[in-house]
Amino acid sequence: MLGVTPLMTPTKTISNKAITKRGLTTPQLLKAGLCVTWSASLLLALTTIFGVQKQRHTIQTVGKDSAPSIILAQRIKDGLAGMDANAVNELLVKPGENPRAIQDYEERRKAFSERIIGAAQNITYGDAELKPIQTLQLGQEDYIVKLQQARDFNERGDAKGVLSAYRQAAQIMDNTLLPAADALAQVNAEQLEITYAQQGVASTLALFFILMSGLLLLTVLIALQLFLNHRMRRILNPMLLAATAIALLYLGYTTRSFLSASHDLKVATQDAFASMRALREGRSFGYVANADESRYLLDTALAAKHEEAFFNNAAKIAKIPQSQTFETVAAALAQGKKVDGFTGLLAVELNNITFPGEREAAMVTLSTFGRYFTIEQQIHQLEQSGQHDKAIALCTGYNQGQSNWAFDEFKKANSDTININEKVFDQAVEQGFKEVDGFEMSAPIVAVVVSLLTLLGLLPRIQEYN
């Protein structure tokens, strides 16, 4: 009997490259994953470097360009006003009777010369800074010429000549020099405000793109791990695991550095520099008010004008409610109470207390200014009661209880408060630079390392199909 040969089902030849549902082979998918990983690594490096450079530029603008230039312009202003106050104090008495005023005038003049050179060496915004600097330099020379004429008249005992020449000097000071110093400060203040406002948006966008590129890289690496586990039954790929860990750690480090740098910039700008600027501006108004007080005694024909100018400038420093005194305001503030009607630059500072020891120093500044203001009121009372010589003695004196002594006490307290904020400002700026330092080198290295580890992890799996 012939046997019947059973029908055989044709066997299908299986390719050594598995076909995916989408028509891509496993090696092709692995190679595609490798390319995406390289692209994501490059994108993370580029976004990090771009973001870091933007952050560093902001810190440079605020910490090294604008803020120091603002402070320097304010110091130029108080130097000029200090020159003027000492010049008037010299002219209030006979030649040679007030050598301290001559000495202080020369110190302020030399300080002005040094500061104007410093401003010229730190020009960042072109003519907007250059023109005020030129005005200051040329205007100071004109002022000195007119002041010397007043001194010459004083040597000859010509009171009318002194007054005429000094009025011309005062006009140069008030209408040319002080406004130029304000303009120089304003240029940098506007740039600082613009840069800081833009920084918030730019920093947020930069960090967003860094996070997105970092998450893309992590997603691809994790997807490759899962793919290998599902398709090739590989539990772990050490190289991909190492690449994932490095990418995750670097993304966390970059994010922390960005947030820390933004915090440092906030401390430097809103906490420290805001107080520095208010205190420095108050110091400048103090010098101007001090000059107004001396003018009040020198130019009696315009005494009402100078008296009004003094009280206006003093109010810009600190203005207290009519029903209170500086002592009662200081006592209330020391107890943490709010004083309605207390305004001025010292009020701005006392509302922005941030650092250890700052409140105590600011309170001393307020108290010493109150003492100075009280002495100035006594000068007015003496002058209005016909005791002109006693008013001059109180105004030009340096002994305890006299005007220049009280003003020096105010300046010392003001400097102590500034120094507290300045120290923190410098530290915050330097720390901000440190936070974003080295990324131009580390970002490419991380990108290369992650790419290389991914290649070493996937290459053996790809070769299994060859």
Is 60 exceeded by the pLDDT of residue 9? no
Give bridge partners of residue 58 from the DSSP assignment: none
Is 80 exceeded by the pLDDT of residue 20? no
Average the pLDDT over 270-297 and give the result. Answer: 94
pLDDT-based confidence at residue 19 (cuts at 50, 70, 90): very low
Angstrom distance (rounded) from CA 345 to CA 282: 6
pLDDT-based confidence at residue 23 (cuts at 50, 70, 90): low
CB burial class (10 A; 0-12, 13-18, 19+) of residue 286?
Answer: buried
Is 50 exceeded by the pLDDT of residue 21? no
Q: Tell me: the pLDDT tens digits for 192-231?
A: 888 888 877 888 888 999 999 999 999 999 999 888 887 7
Cα–Cα distances in Å, from 157 out to 91, 143, 150, 160, 162?
Answer: 11, 21, 10, 9, 8
Average the pLDDT over 120-143 and give the result. Answer: 91
Residue 121: predicted pLDDT: 87
Residue 233: predicted pLDDT: 66
Is 90 exceeded by the pLDDT of residue 149? yes
Residue 232: predicted pLDDT: 66
Identity at 1, one-letter amino acid code: M
Share of the chain above pLDDT 90, in %: 74
Q: Tell me: the pLDDT tens digits for 372-407?
A: 999 999 999 999 999 999 999 999 999 999 999 999
- Average pLDDT of the chain is 90
Give bridge partners of residue 319 from the DSSP assignment: 343
Is 90 exceeded by the pLDDT of residue 47? yes
